[in-house]
Chain A
Amino acid sequence: MQRIVVPGEKLEDKPLRIDEAFIDNGKTYSTIMSMYDDEKKVLIPLEGLWYPRSGDSVVGVVQEDKFNVLIIDLDSPYRGLIFAKDTNEDLVSGDIIEATVKELDKTKTVILGRPRKLAGGKILYVKPSKVGRILGKGNSMIKQLSADTQTYVVVGMNGLVWMKGGKIDLCTEAIVMIQQEAHTSGLTDRVKNLLEMGK
């Protein structure tokens, strides 16, 4: 069974190691708004923030271009850094980029590598907690979306989605729908219907 839980709500009467949960006095509690699956013992976040991990793919905006380093706005408490030696792209303030998290330094600055400029298009902000659902199992959802709308889509784990070309409005509508209804059953079929009707 799945149920909605709020921060501080008890999940288990015994101590269990669960992501986004904490243990106090031998009992396990949630720290965020989530769906709790008490069979699989996992929290599926409804609201939550992005915690950078090495290897995460992100989308960001160049905030400052200094002589040997670029500062990237990732719409998160962590600022991204790209060292000039790590890129051949000619990036200036305001450019949108896709990049990969290389490492986190002690001050929780995110060192990014392999930046790629994303020219034109638009950005949609989504909740980082919903990125998994937008991508789908093995990226199945986003591949379907992209194929059906002919829109080029790049989804960052930090909650920024870049889109360009094709039926961009339909693509946006589908992503907004996935974000709003991520916790419901039968979502994949409803997205399919939406895309069918929009064709």
Chain B
Amino acid sequence: MKTTITGEYIKEMLSKGLREDGRKFFDYRPISITKGNLPQAEGSAEVNIGNTKVIAGVKVSVGSPMPDKPDEGNLITGAELLPLASEEFDIGPPSPEAIELARVVDRGIRAAGVIDLKKLFIEEEKVWDTFVDIYVLNYDGNLFDASTLAATTALLSARMPRYENEEVIREGNLGKLPTANIVTSSTFATMANKLILDPSGNEELFMDARITIATDESNVRAMQKGLSGGFTANEVEQLIDLAIEKSKNLRQEIKKTIGE
């Protein structure tokens, strides 16, 4: 069942300090993370934030290094806004929204060094390609945070295939994909001159601007501001503090899921 609220109603409530689902401005909806849902992939994770549902799958294959980084493996991130996730998503080549989503998730993972790409070197002209694919299964806002959580968890719990005699061994006794950090993101929206965390689908319909801040334990690793509205420098500073604060719990959820 879908619920729609008019923009006026949302803004009227915000001005009274309320949100449509009863949350405080800087509360997340309930978050659940599970890993290993798709055991044939090297890594996988499903994340639910409220009614938003995404799944991430990791595949690792033999590829060639980039010419400027001959001793490093590759990270290739994709995202699909599947038409089964929302009335608004269409069949066809990836939309600008899907490409933005994939690139923002990719930047966070890459910048935070979640994967240790140097350890993905096999031999001259041969490295491991790590494919992370994000599948959006149900849309109800804040795909950035859900996708980053899913991608990070899938990577941290991924198996590492072996390369033996020109063959990739994907089953049996395998080690783990070499990882070195955890990244999470917090996405904020502004509307009616209020700042809120984790915008729902209804809220995203009426927000003026959006900002995603990806952090590790202490530092900012990627940011993306979206839509036509704006934020003041003060607001950005305030939101960075909040994002680092919120990342504690998100990181904890990931660690709990991967069993650390």
Partner-B contacts on A (CB < 8 A): 96, 120-127, 169, 172, 176, 179
Minimum Cβ distance to chain B for residue A95 (Å): 10
For B3, B4, B6, B20, the residue with the greatest tally of chain A CB atoms inside 10 Å of its CB is: B6
Which residues on the B side are within 8 Å of A121 (C-beta)?
6, 9
Near A by CB (< 8 A), chain B positions 1-48 give 1-6, 8-9, 12, 20, 22
Q: Is the CB of A125 within 8 A of B6?
A: no
Take A120-B9, A169-B22 as given contacts and tell me if A127 and B4 are in contact as well, using a CB distance cutoff of 8 Å: no
Which residues on the B side are within 8 Å of A96 (C-beta)?
6
- Complex Cα–Cα for A170 and B5 (A): 16
- Complex Cα–Cα for A11 and B22 (A): 45
The residue on A at minimum CB distance from B202 is: A122
Q: Is the CB of A125 within 8 A of B3?
A: yes
Known: A120-B9, A122-B5, A123-B4. 14 other contacts (CB 8 A): A96-B6, A120-B8, A121-B9, A122-B4, A122-B6, A122-B20, A123-B6, A124-B3, A124-B4, A125-B3, A126-B1, A169-B22, A172-B3, A179-B1
Interface of B is mostly: mixed
Q: Is the CB of A120 within 8 A of B6?
A: yes
The residue on A at minimum CB distance from B12 is: A120
- Complex Cα–Cα for A199 and B8 (A): 26
- Complex Cα–Cα for A121 and B13 (A): 11
Minimum Cβ distance to chain A for residue B68 (Å): 51
Which residues on the A side are within 8 Å of B6 (C-beta)?
96, 120-123
Which residues on the A side are within 8 Å of B3 (C-beta)?
123-125, 172
- Complex Cα–Cα for A179 and B1 (A): 10
Scan B118-132; emit 1 where CB is below 8 A from any A CB, else 0: 000000000000000
Which residues on the A side are within 8 Å of B22 (C-beta)?
169
- Complex Cα–Cα for A156 and B4 (A): 15
The residue on A at minimum CB distance from B3 is: A124
Q: Is the CB of A123 within 8 A of B8?
A: no
- Complex Cα–Cα for A176 and B3 (A): 11
Minimum Cβ distance to chain B for residue A127 (Å): 7
- Complex Cα–Cα for A179 and B6 (A): 22
Q: Is the CB of B2 within 8 A of A125?
A: yes
- Complex Cα–Cα for A123 and B2 (A): 10
Which residues on the B side are within 8 Å of A172 (C-beta)?
3
Which residues on the B side are within 8 Å of A120 (C-beta)?
6, 8-9, 12
Minimum Cβ distance to chain B for residue A98 (Å): 15
| Partner pick for B1 among A122, A127, A169, CB 8 A cutoff | A127
The residue on B at minimum CB distance from A125 is: B2
Minimum Cβ distance to chain B for residue A109 (Å): 21
The residue on A at minimum CB distance from B9 is: A122
Closest 7 CB pairs of A and B: A122-B5, A122-B9, A123-B4, A125-B2, A120-B8, A124-B3, A122-B6
Minimum Cβ distance to chain B for residue A54 (Å): 27
Q: Is the CB of B4 within 8 A of A125?
A: yes
Minimum Cβ distance to chain B for residue A68 (Å): 26
Minimum Cβ distance to chain A for residue B16 (Å): 12
Which residues on the B side are within 8 Å of A125 (C-beta)?
1-4
- Complex Cα–Cα for A172 and B21 (A): 11
Which residues on the A side are within 8 Å of B4 (C-beta)?
122-125
Which residues on the A side are within 8 Å of B2 (C-beta)?
125
- Complex Cα–Cα for A123 and B10 (A): 12
Question: Can you identify 25 A-B contacts, CB atoms within 8 angstroms?
Answer: A96-B6, A120-B6, A120-B8, A120-B9, A120-B12, A121-B6, A121-B9, A122-B4, A122-B5, A122-B6, A122-B9, A122-B20, A123-B3, A123-B4, A123-B5, A123-B6, A125-B1, A125-B2, A125-B3, A125-B4, A126-B1, A127-B1, A169-B22, A172-B3, A179-B1
Which residues on the B side are within 8 Å of A176 (C-beta)?
1
